Amino acid sequence: MEEVRRIRKERGLTQDQLAELANIDRAGLSLIESGQRPPKVDTLEKLAGALGVEVADFFPRSQPDLFTGAPEGLAPALPVEFVHMSRATIDRAIGTAERWREEGQDQEMLAAYIAFLHALRAEAAPLEQRAILVSDASIATAGAA
């Protein structure tokens, strides 16, 4: 498990030190770090405790980050599809809340909810604009290649 080794080294510990802190066999730790032996759950818990991390920290996320790299000179932005999807979701929520308001649902609560959604939509507008700029720049860069 590469992450065990990486975290151990970040903490400035040798295998001997970590094995002693976790109360496990040093040879076993070496096999775990090299990927030659899968660790048992209780061993992972001991290692996590000794390193001051959660067991989940030994398993880094494998999905890509939601944020994309932007063309040179532009700040990173959300993918255009994500931003448009978010705005559409907010717009649908506003529409639903407006219908509830017309049906006579809790007016005070709905007014606060609708105000919140409009504020959220306003905050998303700059993200949408940045995403469009990045998309346009990506298309221009691809066309020039």
pLDDT tens profile 88-125: 777 888 888 888 888 888 888 888 888 888 887 777 66
- Taking alpha carbons only, the member of 134, 22, 1 closest to residue 80 is 134
Q: Let me know if 134 is exposed, middle or buried by CB neighbors in 10 A (0-12, 13-18, 19+).
A: buried
Residues above pLDDT 90, as percent of the chain: 32
* 68: three-class secondary structure by DSSP: strand
Average pLDDT over residues 17-43: 93
Structure confidence at residue 97 (pLDDT): 84
The residues spanned by each domain of the chain are 2-58, 80-144
The architecture (CATH level 2) of 2-58 comes to: Orthogonal Bundle (1.10)
- Taking alpha carbons only, the member of 137, 121, 136, 138 closest to residue 83 is 121
d(CA 62, CA 16): 30
pLDDT tens profile 42-77: 999 999 999 999 888 888 765 554 444 444 544 444
